[in-house]
Structure 1
Amino acid sequence: MCGRGLSVVRRGPPPMVQLAGSVANLRRCACSFSPKQLYSKRLPISAEKYRDLIKLCDDGNIPEPFQAEYRSLPHSARQEDILPESDFDDPEEEE
């Protein structure tokens, strides 16, 4: 390769992918699946996280069609903002 770029030129129609079964079977499979409900109510987020999300809504960073979902999130001042443990080490902590 020695610093030269590689370019691929495709001619003709894109390749077709053939699926086993029919479209009707795919629709039936997609419609019959419903996930199991794990919680009886929505879990609250921290008040700080809620405040930050609302600021994103107010500043227009979250599009209008999605803002109602964020504004309706349950939140609590007693709820701590807990981040999940990472599988990766933070390089700043190693020094």
Structure 2
Amino acid sequence: MLPRSISGISADGKQFIDLIDGLTLPPLVRNKYLRYILDEHHSAVYAYGVLALRGDSDMGEIEEVLDVVAANAEHYIMGHGKVIRGENGNVSGPKP
């Protein structure tokens, strides 16, 4: 699943936000598509986050995580956090 949006700063200092909610692509195609968006905007820096499911479904050990990426031409920083949901299904807080 793609992130719902990708945000960045173009080479001329203008912020862009592209909404891309609802698209499902394999990881390699997803990365190429995100790279295309960044190239079209002549991006200097960008950031995005995406919810993902990780674990072993056969073992019943699935957890929902949030992946967050911030990058520029020299640095690529990625963080992960477990998503905790309350009884109503709403996110109740991050768990490092």
TM-score, reference length from structure 1: 0.16
Q: Which has the higher contact order (CA 8 A, sep 6+)?
A: 1
The normalised TM-score by structure 2 is 0.16
Higher-helix-fraction structure = 1
Which has the higher Rg, Structure 1 or Structure 2? 1
